[in-house]
Structure 1
Amino acid sequence: MQLQAGPLPLYHQMEQDLRSRLHGGEFEPGDALPSEERMCDEYGVSRITVRRALDALMAQGLIVRRRGVGSFVAERKVGARSIALKGSLDEFLAGAGAMQPDRLSLEHDARNPEAAAILKLADDAAMTRLELISRVDGEPTAYLEIYFPPEVGRQLEPQDFITVGMPIIRAVERRLNVRVSRAQQKIESGMAGEVAAAHLGLKPADPVLLVTRAYYLASGQAIEAVFVRYHPGRYSYVIEFNADGRNG
């Protein structure tokens, strides 16, 4: 499959095609993917493009990369099942706006390989990082780390994040005069870790609800990567389903 220049970056096109091949069963867990050189020939792209596509798949937990060996399909977690749900972005953000965030820090030279992969940046790219604590009824409920690509982060100011009841991504839209077209969210179990535990009143090894979220423009560009650790005793996630297909 030779990729074509267009509104979607080549690495994103390649990521989508490889993801489709993985979900379609072309490769089994543990199978080796074609070499980077072979994928360069197959897709008609540079090695940098191949690596960025693979980095994104690795960040999603679909593949693992072994230095000096190659890329392999990730083993499925025993007893774990991934379920994809779709819904309204506006309805989701309406709920998110109910939380009361307190800004802890805003820095413009942060590095995080997982966030960089979501934002399609180099592993060591400098990003803007916003750190927040969200409260419900005054109790610390969630610890958030939000990353922005440098071209977005340079336009953000601390006062952009103080509007009560407005989700962070809506403040970003307003500042940049853009509109997010879709978001992708993964929910899984995790550990609090040292920093989040200190803010949430937990121990570092305590379990938390770990949410990874990305927001995308219509062009396919990711403009925000979010990592949230929710206090297990102060947060629940409820979804209502209706037989007639209407949103509840």
Structure 2
Amino acid sequence: MKLSLNHKSPVPLHVQAELLLRELIKQPEYAGGKLLPNEVDLAKELAISRTTIRYAINKLVSEGLVTRKKGVGTKVTGMSVSSKSNNWLSFSQEMEARGIPIKNFELHLTWETPTEEIANFFEVGKDRKILKMERLRGRPEEPFVYFVSYFHPRIGLTGEEDFKRPLYDILADHKVIANLSKEEISARGAEKNIAKKLGVEPGSPVLVRKRFVFDQGERPIELNWGYYKADSFVYTVESRRN
């Protein structure tokens, strides 16, 4: 895999380096345990400072994607089956980490007038049209999650993008880097339309994950609701006492 950055791009170099490293660790040889190139070599090859490449590596370390051992080096770690609060991944990345093949059963894109909650989150007027995306996804044999996402008009999405690709890769194409996620997890009985989507009886338990997504400047970019079959999703919180 060729390692290079676009030094003329408006995307910050440390962000480009982070995205590059994310692609690098997906390569079979690194997933198999091969050590990543060291900071000095990476910085030299990418024509950036060691501080910049270290920042990018530390981001992956903080997410549990790689481990760094003094005197040894940095290598890819094994992925957890559950979703961790300090290891924020897109749905596609989560499922890839679990080795679960995913099928998209439905995809709907519409432009809608936002509710008061959505307008307040995005800090836009209620007369501003917002892109809404609905996706029903799951294993090849059956769906287990129904997503409803709204996107800030500032991003510049047209609705013509290939949404079969990972969402945050699409946002990166628009020079928008998802950097912060705040989530709320709750349980409730499935409303009629959600029950129909998931193939369960109305009132059956579903887990609802509400996600507020922000860019590097902590500006809102996405508001998402995910409705999961209760037996399909485990959320693990990992805390360390200092």
- With the length of structure 1 as denominator, give the TM-score of the two structures: 0.53
Map of 1:12-161 to 2, 5 A cutoff?
Answer: 86-90=85-89, 94-95=93-94, 99-123=102-126, 125-152=128-155, 154-161=156-163
CA distance in 2, matches of 1:91, 1:142: 13
Query: Does structure 2 conserve the Cα–Cα contact (< 8 Å) formed by 1:156 and 1:172?
Result: no
Q: Secondary structure at the residue paired with 1:147?
A: strand
The aligned amino acid for 1:89 is W
CA distance in 2, matches of 1:92, 1:204: 25
Q: Secondary structure at the residue paired with 2:222?
A: strand
- After superposition, the Cα gap between the structure-2 partners of 1:125 and 1:90, relative to the gap in structure 1 and judged at 3 Å, is same
Map of 1:160-175 to 2, 5 A cutoff?
Answer: 160-163=162-165, 166=166, 168-174=167-173
CA distance in 1, matches of 2:127, 2:202: 26
- After superposition, the Cα gap between the structure-2 partners of 1:93 and 1:136, relative to the gap in structure 1 and judged at 3 Å, is closer
Q: Secondary structure at the residue paired with 1:95?
A: helix
Query: Does structure 1 conserve the Cα–Cα contact (< 8 Å) formed by 2:85 and 2:237?
Result: no
Residue 229 of structure 1 corresponds to 227
Residue 209 of structure 1 corresponds to 207
What is the CA-CA distance between 1:146 and the residue it aligns to? 0.4
CA distance in 2, matches of 1:169, 1:179: 7
- With the length of structure 2 as denominator, give the TM-score of the two structures: 0.54
What is the CA-CA distance between 1:106 and the residue it aligns to? 0.4
- After superposition, the Cα gap between the structure-2 partners of 1:206 and 1:125, relative to the gap in structure 1 and judged at 3 Å, is farther
CA distance in 2, matches of 1:93, 1:186: 20
Q: Secondary structure at the residue paired with 2:217?
A: coil
Query: Does structure 1 conserve the Cα–Cα contact (< 8 Å) formed by 2:182 and 2:212?
Result: yes
The aligned amino acid for 1:95 is E
- After superposition, the Cα gap between the structure-2 partners of 1:196 and 1:124, relative to the gap in structure 1 and judged at 3 Å, is farther
Residue 183 of structure 1 corresponds to 181
Give the count of matched residue pairs. Answer: 155
CA distance in 2, matches of 1:137, 1:243: 37
